[in-house]
Amino acid sequence: MASGFFALLDDISMLMDDVATLSKVAGKKTAGILGDDLAVNAEKASGFMASREIPVLWAITKGSLLNKLIILPLAFLLSAFVPEAIHIILLFGGLYLAYEGAEKIYAFFFHRAPKKKIETVEKLTKEEALSQEKEKVKSAIVTDFILSVEIIIIALGTVENETLLNQIMVVSIIALVATVGVYGIVALIVRMDEFGVKLINLNEEDDSFSDKVGKFLVQALPIVIKSLTVIGTIALLLVSGGIFAHNLDFLHGLLPNVPSFITEFLIGLVVGIIVLAVVQVAIFVMKKIKANKA
């Protein structure tokens, strides 16, 4: 009886060791898209009254967890019964990510909105503020769903040759990290300026150490969010390029003398430009058709 118990413990220990190793690999594969997830949601979760930031983040986090509960079972069923579908979804996801990255670059250079006076949250009525809050939460949850599909599919692709139990445990860990880790960091980012204000008001001394740190945190918040947006765009193209480079044979060794991350970025950028062009043409044609019907 005792030997059987210790054998069971040994099996569990080996399983946990395998899961930990596989989770590290899956974590590295999904790091880029997790970075974009962080950047996107930090931007969407900011701009609220200080008293509403945590409730809004909690609402988005609950929506993210629900997204994972919907996606995970479907992903495992596909992996078990239609494994080919994983690669197809992965490639379509790569097209979407490439498009998103290219579209952000295009919007930055050619479609920047003119600067205008923005109505602050404090000037909105309670009803307007709640309506704006609901829209931003809804938008964040929809974006999270799309990114969650990619995170889970990429993680699943790294363990597709493992046992179903290992797949479930590894992908579930990545999914949990994608929610708890990302939104935990987002919470720290969006509350950074609030913490800075508390440091400034910590004492009545002028230009004290706490004042300097507090002012730095307040001034750094918009810079951090803008930086995350840039990093997220790069991550989108790197992840999408990596998907194509690793799943399409003719792209293997495309530029053998160039570092792989540069090759993957270029592939993502080129694919993104092509998809963006197709989408823009489709939009133009649809507008023409509607104009002719009117």
- Residue 291: predicted pLDDT: 84
In a domain, 209, yes or no: no
Cα 223 from Cα 226, distance rounded (Å): 5
Angle (CA) 90-35-192 rounded to 5° is 155
- Residue 44: predicted pLDDT: 64
In a domain, 121, yes or no: yes
In a domain, 197, yes or no: no
- Residue 20: predicted pLDDT: 60
In a domain, 77, yes or no: yes
pLDDT tens, residue by residue, 121-177? 455 566 766 777 788 788 778 777 877 887 887 777 777 777 777 778 888 888 888
Low-confidence stretches of the chain (pLDDT < 50) are 1-2, 4-12, 15, 115-121
Please tell me the total count of domains within the chain: 1
In a domain, 277, yes or no: yes
In a domain, 273, yes or no: yes
In a domain, 1, yes or no: no
- Residue 32: predicted pLDDT: 59
In a domain, 204, yes or no: no
- Domain of 119 in residue numbering reads as 19-191+222-293
Give the length of the chain: 294
